[in-house]
Amino acid sequence: MSEQEHCCTSERSTPRPDKIKSNLISRLNRVEGQIRGIRGMVEKDVYCDDILNQIAAAQSALNAVGRMLLEGHMKSCVIDRIQQGDSEVIDELLKTMNKLMR
């Protein structure tokens, strides 16, 4: 994996409006709470099906965050880079979408 592909080493950034950033952070905080709750359920030997249902809920919540970010990315970053003549953004987007759909 190149440095540019690894999220933590990328030098690019995307400024987001405060309202959107706040919404994303709130959603991620809820997902984080769900994950802590799932860990607690495992520690307490809660029935498997109940844990699996909570995992599905957490995945759904995280997918919703991903959809919000993807929509914003397509409407801003991708369009901007295409308008600047950078068609490589399409391949980058396709790779990302493939990862999200796994």
User: Can you tell me the distance from the alpha carbon of 67 to that of 76, in angstroms, rounded to the nearest whole number?
Assistant: 14
pTM beyond 0.85: no
The one-letter amino acid code at 32 reads E
- Residue-wise pLDDT tens digits, 45-82: 999 999 999 999 999 999 999 999 999 999 999 999 99
Tokens of 92: 């980058």
Q: What percent of the chain has pLDDT over 70?
A: 90
Mean pLDDT of the chain: 90
102: pLDDT strictly greater than 90: no
- 52 token code pair: 């699996």
